[in-house]
Structure formats: structure tokens, C-alpha cells
Amino acid sequence: MPEPHADPGPGVPEIAFGPADEPWRNSFGGLSLMSGPPDVTPPSSDPRRSYASIPEIPYGQFQLPASGLTEEQYAAAENHFRSWLEQQCRVSVGFQVSGDLDYQQRLGPYLGLALNNVGDPYQSGAYTHNSKILERAVLDYFASLWNARWPHRRDDPESYWGYSLTMGASEGNLYGLWNAREYLSGQLMLHSGQDSWSSGGGRYGPAGDPAGPRSNSYHPVIFYSQDTHYSLTKATRLLGVDTFQDVGRRWFPDENPLAPGTPWPAEVPSLGGADGDGTIDIDCLAVLVDFFASRGFPILVNLNYGSTFKGAYDDVEVASRTVHEICAKHGLDERPVHHDHRGRHDDRAAEEQDGSGGFDLRTGYWVHVDGALGAGYAPYLEMARRAGLVAAAPPVFDFRLPTVHSITASGHKWMGAPWPCGIFMTRTGFQMVPPREVEYTGSSDTTLAGSRNGFSPLLMWDYLARHSYDDQARWAAECDRMAAYAESSLRALETALGLDLWVARSPFSLTVRFRRPAPWIVQKYSLSYETTHVRGQRRPCAHLFTMRHVTRDLVDALVRDLRRVGAFAAG
Ligand SMILES: *Cc1c(COP(=O)(O)O)cnc(C)c1O
């Protein structure tokens, strides 16, 4: 046998490692002395030099030797890390995540319990130590908030179905797009054709030859705006869904209907382009959707309800109605999908007169709403508006609209959580058959993850149990006012400095954009940033979010720092 971990090279094992600055090799315990060193790989170079260093918390203190850390080393490292983290959280204003969390007193004991919500939330299954009972309560709460029919009932296609995500809205977007792809490409739905399911069928089969001119009916094409979160692009790639640009370039290279003769854009333009408020340009969406719907392609649209950088709210009602009307014009509003459609003609009349085999009726489009922050926040802002606490709230986005198929929201954004979590929701009638039935867990594999975080439903349940609609409506109004305050403070600074800071706030949004300041300010306040191009001018921007933990004092402290000499030197 060759020695698997031969001498890694002169000097390398002598690299100072861990809190004691000992050579890496020195930390093997007594067992290894009896039988020779364990089969593990030494560092090939000094890790402390390989990673970006954070001066306040030097990496060496946290490195893990084989012996682990002594009690003193552990206490020093953990204290150091925690006080650094507490400070970073306290003054974080750059992201749409709430920072005032107080779960630890009540929920600490659950860290000693192995919670796991594997499988469908409505089936308890073999893994009994789950929090699905709380998960169902949380889902019912959101179903009500988002005006879906509830409770979930497997026999009622109009009732909602959903689950608590182990990731955040990125998972909700991925799952929503998977659901949409399966639905639009004619795969088997949970709600119809149970015969084929129970007989082990599972799928209707692939939707014909993708290169064939008659295969468009089961070839979904996705549309999302230029202000869309990167998780949508990633989900699109992961799932192999074609964007309108993919299909346009491949089959209609010179036919971009937005500007004939110019290349296809990757995304639907936003109103006013990079300089606008960040909402999708519905007229452009209409032109693009019409181009593809008229050629028979099923239409998959993502709308943003609170976009990531500008906090923009797409007009979901108007956009989705527009999509519906265009699809109706081309026979894609409600269409029969035959369970044996593979290889058959797409001609609707031919399908309708063919009575053989089962079929179901479904829309030829799917509208997914990415409401990472907005779907968790705007319903309370609307309550605040009704109570006269604020003047306006964004338009309706939820299941009141028959044209909306699925919605996702992050749990850690508006509510606040110590880790990513969230909700995905659709209608029961849109559920697809999972790829495989699993006997092992005793509950259907209807979710993206196998094992699912069971602590997250507990957190969300705790939050919702302790905060009434009234509390949240007041907070929503308060955050909205704080955003207005931040905007006016930045405008005053702009005047004082005599420098255009490009201050902007999209309607109803909790974020204010401004010229990106010097790196130390970006770092101190965890500011996120993005470079936009406005009329050929490069504009490095940052933004702040006035989440619940962001007080006037914190906004004032940031503005004071921005007033210092050199604060905008790097911009
Ligand atoms: C934050 C965000 C996401 C991603 O959500 P995670 O919970 O971070 O996975 C998706 N879309 C929008 C609009 C977001 O702001």
C-alpha cells in the first residue's frame, strides 16, 4: 500500500496552527501514537494566509486541531466571535433581515431535541419527532394572510398546499419553478390521474422532441425582469428551463419583438430601465409573452413583490391579468393535457375530439410571485393603511388573484430568524406527483429537501404566536416611516455636501439607495451594493433597509459617518 499522506513537503506541517500556534501535526492524541498517525491530510499551505482576513477576529484562534480546543481556548474564541457578531448585527443596515431576535430564552431547550420535518407537512410519517403540527399552524396562518382557501385538504384543489422551507425564498423560487415546469410540460398532477400514479406511472413522459416545430405546447419559456433576484436565474439553469432569450436566440434570432434586429435581452426590461423604480415593464412583458404564446409555448412568469435591490413591487394584478389575457387569445388559458399526449399533435381541436384516455384541464401559463420580503410584510402595511397609519400600500399580490399560481416568502426577512427559512405556497390542484414514492419515511416526498429543518416552523410559530396583526401593522408603519426618515436624512446630507448621492426610494419600499461610500463604512454597516449604469454613467450604489431593529439613532450614526471627509472618496 502506498503511504496515502506522504510528507507534504518541507515546512508545511510546521505551520502554526490553532489557538496555541502549534504545528498542525502536534495535536494528534494518544490513540494515534499507538497505531501511527491517522489517515488525514495536512494543510498544503498556511490557511491563515489563504483566506480573507477579518482583522478583528484572527483566524488562528478558531482553527480546529485534532485535539479540539481546551476549555480556555474555546471560551476565548467563542467570546471573541460572539461579541464581534453582536456588534455586526447591531449596526447592520444593508439587508432586508430583521435583527431584533429574542428566541433564545424560550426556544433554547429545543437545541437538545432532534427535530426533523422530513416529507409532506400534512403526513406525520415514521419520523414522529417533528414539528409538523406547528408547521401546519404556520401554513394556515399564511394561507389566511395570503387569502388562499384553507385548511389544506387533499380533496379540494382550490385549497392551498405549502411547506416550510429549509433554505429561504431561494428554495421557494426553485420549488415554484420546478412545480411550474412539471405542470406546463404536461407531467402528471397529484390531483388527477391518480390511476396512473397508483399504477406506478408517475409521469406522462417527456413532451416530445424539443427540436420539433409541433412540440412547443409542452416547452415552457420563462420571463422575469432585470430586477429579479439571482436565485431565479440559478433555478432556471438548475432546472434546464429555457428563458425567452434562450428560445429566441435559438429559433428566432432576428425577431426580437421589442426592437427588431437587435439581440434578445436576457430579462424583461424594468420600467425606466436601470434608472427606474425597479418594477417590471408590463408593456414589454406583454409583447414578449404574446410572441411566444402565439407560437404555442406555455408561459412561465416570475413577478417580484419587493425586489432585492430597489424593493420594488411589481403590479402582480395587472401583470398576471395581462399574461392571462394574452394566453387566452392563444388557447393557453385553459387547455386539456392528455395523459398520453406524448408524440401527439398539439392541435387543440384534435385533442378535444379524441375521447380516449384521461386528460386534465390546466392553464398554459404559471405566475410565480417572489415575495421574499414583500409577501411577509406588505399584508401588514395594508392593514396599517386601512387603520390610517400610512397613506398607501402596494397592490394585491396574493391568492385572491386567480392568475397567481405560487408564492414564496423568506421567514428571516420580515419576521426575523437566526437562520434562513421561509414558506412556499401553491394551490392543492397545482401539485405535481413527486418523482418517487418513499415508504421509508412514511410521508410523501412532496418537498425539495429530504430532511427538513423542523426548528424553523417552531421559530415562525413562536413569532406569530407572540405578535398580533396589530403589532405587526404598527411595526410595518414604523419601518415605512423610518425609510422615509432615512431618505430625507440622506437628501439633507446631499445638500450639505453639495454632492449628488443618487438618493432614491421606490414606492412603498423599505430600502433607500445612495452613492456607495468608502469600504470601511460598507463593512461597518454591512451595506450591500450594486453597480448600475444610467445613461452610460457607471453608478456604484449602496442601499440601506429600515428593518425593525433600525432606529433613528442608527440612521443618524450612519449619516454622521457619511458626512466625514473621504466618506465618498472611493465612489
Ligand atoms: C432575499 C431574496 C431572495 C432570496 O431569499 P433567501 O431567503 O435569501 O433565499 C429571493 N428574492 C428576493 C426578491 C429577495 O429579496
Summarised one tens digit per residue, pLDDT across range 52-83 is 888 899 999 999 999 999 999 999 999 999 99
CB within 6 Å of ligand 1 — which residues? Answer: 167-170, 229, 231, 304, 306-308, 370, 372-373, 410, 420, 422
What 3 state SS string does 469-517 have? Answer: HHHHHHHHHHHHHHHHHHHHHHHHHHHHHCCCCCCECCCCCCEEEEECC
326 closest CA partner among 360, 362, 361, 285: 285
Unique residue bearing C-alpha cell 431576535: 101
The Cα–Cα gap between 412 and 187 comes to: 33
In the listed set 40, 57, 74, which residue is the last one of a domain according to the structure? 74
Q: Tens of pLDDT along 514-536?
A: 999 999 999 999 998 999 888 88
Angle at 344 between CA 196 and CA 286, to 5 degrees: 100
**Ligand 1 mean position, distance from CA 229 (Å):** 7
Residues 44 and 192 in one domain: no
Handedness of CA 438, 443, 444, 448 (dihedral sign): negative
The Cα–Cα gap between 281 and 293 comes to: 18
Least confident of 203-217, 420-434, 438-452, 510-524: 203-217
Residues 70 and 137 in one domain: no
Residues 240 and 358 in one domain: yes
In a domain, 55, yes or no: yes
Q: How many domains does the chain have?
A: 2
In a domain, 383, yes or no: yes
Burial 146-180 (b: 16+ CB within 10 A, else e): bbbbbebeeebbebbbbbbbbbbbbbbbbbbbbbb
The Cα–Cα gap between 426 and 408 comes to: 9
pLDDT confidence of 358, banded at 50, 70, 90? confident
pLDDT confidence of 12, banded at 50, 70, 90? low
Domain region containing 281: 132-148+163-196+219-466
In a domain, 549, yes or no: no
In a domain, 524, yes or no: no
In the listed set 36, 52, 74, which residue is the last one of a domain according to the structure? 74
In a domain, 346, yes or no: yes
pLDDT confidence of 437, banded at 50, 70, 90? confident
Residues 175 and 308 in one domain: yes
**Ligand 1 mean position, distance from CA 308 (Å):** 7
In a domain, 7, yes or no: no
**Ligand 1 mean position, distance from CA 303 (Å):** 13
Residue in 238, 410, 414, 460 to alter for ligand 1 test, most ligand atoms within 8 A of Cβ: 410
Q: How many CB atoms lie within 10 A of CB 389?
A: 16
In a domain, 384, yes or no: yes
Q: Tens of pLDDT along 298-319?
A: 999 999 999 999 999 999 999 9
Locate the ligand 1 atom nearest the alpha carbon of residue 228 and give its number. Answer: 13
Q: Does residue 442 surpass a pLDDT of 80?
A: no
Report whether 511 contacts 490 (CB < 8 A). Answer: no
Q: How many CB atoms lie within 10 A of CB 308?
A: 23
Residues 312 and 443 in one domain: yes
Q: Tens of pLDDT along 199-229?
A: 333 444 444 444 444 579 999 999 999 999 9
Q: How many CB atoms lie within 10 A of CB 271?
A: 19
The Cα–Cα gap between 497 and 499 comes to: 5
Indicate the residue type of 306.
G
The Cα–Cα gap between 293 and 301 comes to: 12
Residues 60 and 181 in one domain: no
Locate the ligand 1 atom nearest the alpha carbon of residue 411 and give its number. Answer: 7
Q: What is the CATH number of the domain that holds 254?
A: 3.40.640.10
In a domain, 552, yes or no: no
217 secondary structure, DSSP code: G
Helix axes 132-145, 455-466, angle to 10 degrees: 50
Least confident of 322-326, 339-343, 444-448, 528-532: 339-343
pLDDT at position 164: 98
pLDDT at position 357: 62
In the listed set 466, 488, 513, which residue is the last one of a domain according to the structure? 466
Task: Give percent above pLDDT 70 in the chain.
Answer: 90
**Ligand 1 mean position, distance from CA 176 (Å):** 13
Least confident of 147-161, 241-255, 266-280, 346-360: 346-360
149 secondary structure, DSSP code: B
pLDDT at position 345: 43
Distances in Å between the Cα of 173 and the Cα atoms of 30, 138, 232, 452 are 50, 19, 6, 17
pLDDT at position 25: 87
pLDDT at position 6: 44
